[in-house]
Amino acid sequence: MPPSRVNVLSRDELIARFGRPRDTPLVFTNGCFELLHPGHVSYLAAARALGGQLVVGVNTDDSARRLGKSKPGSAMEDERPLVGERDRAVVVAALESVDAVCLFDEDTPRELVAELLPDVLVKGGDWALDEIVGRAEVEAAGGRVELIPFVEGYSTTELLNRIRGGSS
């Protein structure tokens, strides 16, 4: 993969390249993107369609673990994330719809959103507007929040259950 296409940036690089002022509307979303699946690809393409550039915040391994994706005592407790942060970031950055990826280690992307102040903050339709971290900061700066319909049938947990022969 050509290095110019893999845009995994540090926070400082991201703000320098995509911060305000900017010429085109910037869209931001975030997630773990543990095992990339059609739901992720569809979601990111729809997010990109809402502006001129798309930046994705990807949870570091520590941040993803703190989200509690694995239930304590379960067979998956110590396994997730299955794919390391750098590899997850590189895969997401390689998608045509994504202009750049930045890893974040906090429990939420609030600080990154507040620094970047995207024009459009996007989350999946499975989120309630009042739960979206960074919403207040984006709206106070004149931006907007958009929800993209959740694609049913796709999740990392469902994939792992099917791999292990369990029900989804």
Q: SS3 for 128? A: coil
Residue-wise pLDDT tens digits, 45-89:
999 999 999 999 999 999 999 987 554 444 444 567 889 999 999
Q: Which token pair is 82?
A: 């299955």
What pLDDT, on the 0 to 100 scale, is given for residue 1? Answer: 44
Q: SS3 for 159? A: helix
Of 117, 108, 100, 114, the residue nearest 25 (C-alpha) = 117
What pLDDT, on the 0 to 100 scale, is given for residue 67? Answer: 84
Please answer whether residues 53 and 99 qualify as being in contact, where contact means their C-beta atoms are separated by less than 8 angstroms. yes
Please answer whether residues 29 and 53 qualify as being in contact, where contact means their C-beta atoms are separated by less than 8 angstroms. no
What pLDDT, on the 0 to 100 scale, is given for residue 153? Answer: 72
What pLDDT, on the 0 to 100 scale, is given for residue 164? Answer: 74
Low-confidence ranges of the chain (pLDDT < 70): 1-6, 69-79, 156-157, 160, 166-168
What pLDDT, on the 0 to 100 scale, is given for residue 3? Answer: 46
Instruction: Kindly report whether the global pTM for this prediction surpasses the value 0.75.
Output: yes
In the chain, the domains with their CATH numbers are 3-153 (3.40.50.620)
